[in-house]
C-alpha cells in the first residue's frame, strides 16, 4: 500500500498522469452520456503514472464500486487504448476527509483487445487531437491504428422505432456492403442526442467485426479540422491526406462544424472524391438537413446527392419506453412499469437525456438506499427537467394526446378533417374540459379558434363512444393515466 506522501514526491509523475488522464477523459466523454460523465468521471483526480500504472483518486468506496460495476468496460478499453496493453489502473479511495485512511484497488485491463483498437504507448499518443493516428499512418501503414470506434455502439443495442427506421436500415445496408450500395455517402441528420453517433459507429463496429472492412476511422469534423491545421503547421499535409484516403470506411461526425472552414473543407472534398471514386464508403452526420448547412461548400453539398440522406427524429413514446427497458435490463435492474412510463412520458426531447435520468435515478436509489418508485423518479426529474408538478394546461393535454396517437401536434389545431386527427382532437378537447378549469370558449381558442359548440359536440361524442366502445374507453383512460403520471393532475 502506497502512502500519500509518495504521491507528492513525484511531480513529473503527476504531470504525466494528468496528461494521460485527460486523454482518457476525451475518449470517455464520447462513450458515456454527459450526465454520467459529470457525475462519475469529472470528480476523478489523476495522481501519478508509474511503469504503466495510472493511479487515480476517487471520492468514496461507493464511487469506486459504482465505476467498477457500471463502467468497467469503458474504463478498461480506454486505459488500454491510451497506455497500451499491460497497462493498469489503480484506484485510490479517499475513505475520509482527512485522508487518514487510504486504500488501493488494482484493476487490470482485459488482456485481449482487438489489435485494431490498440493505441501506441508512445508519449505522443497522449495528445487529444489524434496526431498519433497521423503518426502511425506514416510509419506503419497497413498495420494497426486507432479507429476511435467505441465498442459500446452496436446495432444490437440500438433500439428501432419509427423515428429512426430509415436511418437504421440504411446504416445496416452500408455496414454489410460498405461502398457497394447506392447509399454512398450515407448522411444522417437530426437533433442532438438522437443516436447519430451511435448509428455511425455501429456501422464501423459491424463492418470490422464481420470482415466487411479493415480500415475504418471515426472522426468528428472538429477533430479532422484540428488535425488538418496541425498537419499544415508541421508540414505533414500529405501524410494527413494519405492517411484519411487509405480508409475503407471514413466516418465523419457533425459536419456542421466544417462551416466556414474553407481550407479544411477543400481537403475533405478531395478526400471525399478520392474515396468515393475507388468505391470506399463515406458516412457523415449533421445536426440539420444538409441543404440548411450554411457556410458549406456547394461542391461538397452536391456530392451528398450521390448517396442517401436520412433523418433521425425524436423518439416517440413507445421507443422511449423500449429504450428505458433495454437500458435498465442491461444494467441488471428491473424497473417497475409505472416508473418506466413516468420517465418516458416526461423526458421527451432526446435519448441522451433519457439515459441521464435513468442514471440519476439509479444513483439516487443506491446512494439513499431508496426503492425505485415513481416518487423517487419524480424527485430526480425535478432536478433534470424541472418541476413536473405544474398545473395541467391545454398544451400539455394536446402534446400528450398527439404523442399517444402518434400524430404531429400542429395538426390538432389545424383545419384538417382527417379521421384520425378529428378523433385525437375530440379526445384532447374532452380531456381539456375534464381536467382543466378552462371555459369552453378558451378550449375552442386553443384548438385553432374553434367555436364553443364544437367543444361541446366533441365532449359528447367522446362520452358516447366511451360508453359504446371498450377499446376507445381504454385509450382515453390510458391518456388520462399518462397525464396523472406526469404529475399534472
Task: Return residues touching ligand ADP (CB under 6 A).
Answer: 33, 157-159, 164, 190, 192-198, 323, 351-352, 355
Q: Is 409 exposed, middle or buried (0-12, 13-18, 19+ CB in 10 A)?
A: middle
Closest distance to Mg ion from the beta carbon of 253 (Å): 6
The grid coordinates of residue 6 equal: 509518495
Contact between 197 and Mg ion by CB under 5 A: the answer reads yes
How many whole angstroms separate alpha carbon 225 and alpha carbon 219?
Answer: 10
Return the one option of ligand ADP, Mg ion, none that residue 261 interacts with (CB less than 5 to 8 A, by type).
Answer: none
Return the one option of Mg ion, ligand ADP, none that residue 194 interacts with (CB less than 5 to 8 A, by type).
Answer: ligand ADP
The residue range among 128-136, 197-205, 306-314, 370-378 that interacts with Mg ion, by the rule CB under 5 A, is 197-205
Give the binding-site size for Mg ion (rule: CB under 5 A).
Answer: 2
Which DSSP helix (H) or strand (E) runs through 249? strand 249-253
Q: Does residue 136 contact residue 145 with C-beta atoms inside 8 Å?
A: yes
The grid coordinates of residue 252 equal: 465523419
Return the one option of ligand ADP, Mg ion, none that residue 352 interacts with (CB less than 5 to 8 A, by type).
Answer: ligand ADP
C-alpha R_g of the chain: 26
Closest distance to ligand ADP from the beta carbon of 476 (Å): 29
Shorter beta-carbon distance to ligand ADP: residue 219 or 431:
219
The residue range among 193-201, 206-214, 442-450, 458-466 that interacts with Mg ion, by the rule CB under 5 A, is 193-201
Return the one option of ligand ADP, Mg ion, none that residue 225 interacts with (CB less than 5 to 8 A, by type).
Answer: none
Contact between 201 and Mg ion by CB under 5 A: the answer reads no
Angle between helical axes of 221-233 and 237-244 (0-180°, round to 10): 150
Shorter beta-carbon distance to ligand ADP: residue 154 or 393:
154
283 SS3 class: strand
Closest distance to ligand ADP from the beta carbon of 339 (Å): 18
Closest distance to Mg ion from the beta carbon of 16 (Å): 30
Residue 85 region, left (φ>0) first, then alpha (ψ -120 to 50), else beta? beta
Backbone phi, psi, residue 205, to 5° = -60, -40
Quick count: other Cβ atoms within 10 Å of Cβ 109? Answer: 22
The strand pair at 308-311 and 186-189 is best described as parallel
Shorter beta-carbon distance to Mg ion: residue 197 or 346:
197
The residue range among 59-67, 190-198, 241-249, 417-425 that interacts with Mg ion, by the rule CB under 5 A, is 190-198
Shorter beta-carbon distance to ligand ADP: residue 329 or 387:
329
| Beta-ladder partners of 299 | none
Residue written as cell 454520467?
36
Shorter beta-carbon distance to ligand ADP: residue 350 or 438:
350
Please report, for residues 78, 131, 158, 317, the alpha-carbon distance to residue 197 in angstroms, rounded to integers and kept in the order given: 18, 22, 11, 21
Closest distance to ligand ADP from the beta carbon of 91 (Å): 25
The grid coordinates of residue 237 equal: 499535409
Closest distance to ligand ADP from the beta carbon of 54 (Å): 25
Q: Which residues bind Mg ion (CB under 5 A)?
A: 196-197
Amino acid at each position: 500500500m502506497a502512502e500519500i506522501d509518495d504521491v507528492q514526491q513525484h511531480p513529473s509523475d503527476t504531470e504525466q498522469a494528468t496528461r494521460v488522464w485527460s486523454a482518457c477523459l476525451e475518449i470517455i466523454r464520447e462513450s458515456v452520456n454527459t450526465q454520467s460523465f459529470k457525475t462519475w468521471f469529472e470528480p476523478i483526480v489523476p495522481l501519478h503514472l508509474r511503469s504503466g500504472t495510472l493511479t487515480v483518486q476517487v471520492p468514496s468506496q461507493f464511487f469506486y464500486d459504482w465505476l467498477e460495476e457500471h463502467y468497467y468496460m469503458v474504463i478498461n478499453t480506454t486505459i488500454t487504448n491510451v497506455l497500451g496493453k499491460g497497462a493498469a489502473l489503480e484506484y485510490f479511495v479517499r475513505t475520509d476527509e482527512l485522508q487518514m485512511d487510504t486504500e488501493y484497488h488494482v484493476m487490470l485491463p482485459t488482456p485481449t483487445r482487438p489489435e485494431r483498437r490498440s493505441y501506441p504507448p508512445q508519449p505522443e499518443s497522449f495528445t487529444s487531437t489524434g496526431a498519433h493516428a497521423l503518426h502511425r499512418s506514416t510509419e506503419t501503414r497497413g498495420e494497426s491504428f486507432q479507429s476511435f470506434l467505441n465498442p459500446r455502439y452496436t446495432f444490437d443495442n440500438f433500439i428501432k422505432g419509427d423515428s429512426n427506421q430509415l436511418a437504421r436500415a440504411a446504416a445496416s445496408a452500408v455496414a454489410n456492403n460498405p461502398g457497394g450500395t447506392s447509399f454512398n455517402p450515407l448522411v444522417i441528420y437530426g437533433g442532438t442526442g438522437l443516436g447519430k453517433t451511435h448509428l455511425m459507429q455501429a456501422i464501423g463496429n459491424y463492418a470490422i467485426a464481420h470482415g466487411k472492412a479493415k480500415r475504418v476511422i471515426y472522426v468528428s469534423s472538429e477533430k479532422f479540422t484540428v488535425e488538418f491545421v496541425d498537419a499544415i503547421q508541421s508540414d505533414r499535409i500529405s501524410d494527413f491526406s494519405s492517411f484519411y484516403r487509405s480508409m475503407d470506411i471514413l466516418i465523419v461526425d457533425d459536419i456542421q462544424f466544417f462551416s466556414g472552414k474553407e481550407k479544411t473543407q477543400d481537403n475533405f472534398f478531395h478526400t471525399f472524391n478520392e474515396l468515393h471514386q475507388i468505391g470506399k464508403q463515406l458516412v457523415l452526420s449533421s445536426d440539420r438537413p444538409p441543404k440548411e448547412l450554411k457556410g458549406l461548400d456547394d461542391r461538397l453539398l452536391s456530392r451528398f446527392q450521390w448517396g442517401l440522406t436520412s433523418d433521425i427524429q425524436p423518439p416517440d413514446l413507445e421507443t422511449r419506453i423500449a429504450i428505458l427497458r433495454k437500458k435498465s435490463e442491461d444494467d441488471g435492474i428491473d424497473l417497475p412499469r409505472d416508473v418506466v412510463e413516468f420517465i418516458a412520458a416526461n423526458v421527451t426531447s432526446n435519448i441522451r437525456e433519457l439515459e441521464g435520468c435513468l442514471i440519476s435515478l439509479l444513483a439516487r436509489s443506491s446512494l439513499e438506499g431508496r426503492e425505485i418508485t415513481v416518487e423517487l423518479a419524480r424527485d430526480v426529474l425535478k432536478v433534470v427537467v424541472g418541476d413536473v408538478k405544474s398545473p395541467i394546461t391545454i398544451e400539455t393535454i394536446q402534446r400528450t394526446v398527439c404523442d399517444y396517437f402518434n400524430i404531429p401536434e400542429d395538426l390538432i389545431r389545424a383545419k384538417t378533417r382527417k379521421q384520425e386527427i378529428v378523433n385525437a382532437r375530440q379526445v384532447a378537447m374532452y380531456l381539456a374540459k375534464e381536467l382543466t378549469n378552462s371555459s369552453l370558449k378558451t378550449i375552442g381558442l386553443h384548438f385553432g379558434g374553434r367555436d364553443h359548440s364544437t367543444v361541446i359536440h366533441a365532449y359528447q361524442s367522446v362520452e358516447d363512444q366511451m360508453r359504446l366502445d371498450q377499446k376507445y374507453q381504454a385509450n382515453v383512460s390510458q391518456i388520462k393515466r399518462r397525464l396523472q403520471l406526469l404529475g399534472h393532475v
